[in-house]
Structure 1
Amino acid sequence: MAVLFKLQDFEGPLDLLLYLIDKNKMNIYDIEISSITDQYMTYLDEAEEVELDQMSDFIVMAATLLYIKSRMLLPKHPKPGEEVEEDPREELVRKLLEYKKVKYVSEKLNACQGESSQYCFRNKPAEIDIPESTIDYDAILENVSLKLLYDTFEQLMKQKEWEQHTKEERKIDHNILKKDTYTIEQKSIYIRNLIALEGKTTFFTICKKEMPKIELIVTFMALLELIHKKEVTVLQEEPTGDIVIKGGIVDEEDRA
């Protein structure tokens, strides 16, 4: 499927998702998450390089979609006495609806501004001020692009899908998924502890291929959050080597 738009054509990942939902004539309240995730990943795979802070938002959404897709694999009928879990798409739908409303209002305001250009705000309302990102991704991602980080993760996920092809393996994965013991906070603590003990860790140390798929996704999301908070720095010491993860901004001596 040829991609007709660039990521720069979209205001963000929610904008891209709304486009895909409209294009496929899906009900926003009942998103076909598997199809949407596959199409979204295609856009990222074929995307040209964009600003790092913008790319990070798209990658976080990709991890979120993969997480939801994995949750959707859970058995739909709980056993007697078990609580019925909420639809894993619920939070995403809420964000999409909020974004759709904001986009609609924004388009109306732009139209009104064009028709009545003589009217204007004396000062922009404080509540719509959007602070610029102060994250220096060039410093945090020493010689590793977010695209490379994402591609490494996606390659690992594809390998997992290839390995988990028997019914017995899928059954085991479902049992692990059902426990739902993985959280971003727990994985963030895990990564911090590894760095505190060893001074650094690596991508394939925290994302082992024998991990359940959902654990890999949550771990990757935790890593992205730590990068966003500037708590870790990632670099590749050798061109084809593992991605190294260190605490904070790398010192000049470490870069040498």
Structure 2
Amino acid sequence: MNTSFKLEQFEGPLDLLLGLIDDEKLNISELALSQVTEQYLRHLDKIEEKKPEDLADFLVVATKLLFLKSRLLLPQFGVEEDEGPSLEEQLRLYKAFVEASKKLNKSWLDSSIRSVFRVEPPKKPSGFLPPSNFSFESLKESINKLLYRLTPPKPLPRTHIDKSITIKEKIDQIRNLLKKGQSASFSQILNDSKNKTEVIVVFLALLELVKQKTVVLNQGDNFSDIMINKV
């Protein structure tokens, strides 16, 4: 039987996103998705049992949200080639599917509709008639042959997913670092980053600080280290 991974009361990453947007009474748009990015990441932090096979879809959507937010903050940070359906399009399609399924369920509960699809119960079978040469030993031998042909399942590799830091936490870290001096380098701030996701979070935190006019960024030459100066 197939099972679906649930995060609190949500099933799947699109269901979680749709719930967050509905809670904020927002229309589905790129701006709305960027506004609920941090809430989405906080929901991921609440997961107690982190299984990679269950979290894969949630992490893919989290990466898309971070990329979308960075693209809105930096319009020139765009991608020209076709990347398939956008997250906004996928969410609109998912919402239409949810609404259609609710209408179908409501119609099914209507007794007049349900009676149209009434199916007669199957006739009671007359019983099992084993072959004349049937015996317990022949049954045991057939089962053993079947078990021998089955390939034992391969164990899944063990892995570990680190907890990602939030944008707010990274902003607080940068502010504390700048309290010790007037400036810090971009490479210095990246020292504690454990993966690509945390690098993106650092980048978004700096953009937010620039937007708040808390810091200014300077780069002496092309490809040289970026300096973060406190205003």
| Greater relative contact order (Cα < 8 A, sep 6+) | 1
Larger radius of gyration: 2
State TM-score, norm by structure 1: 0.44
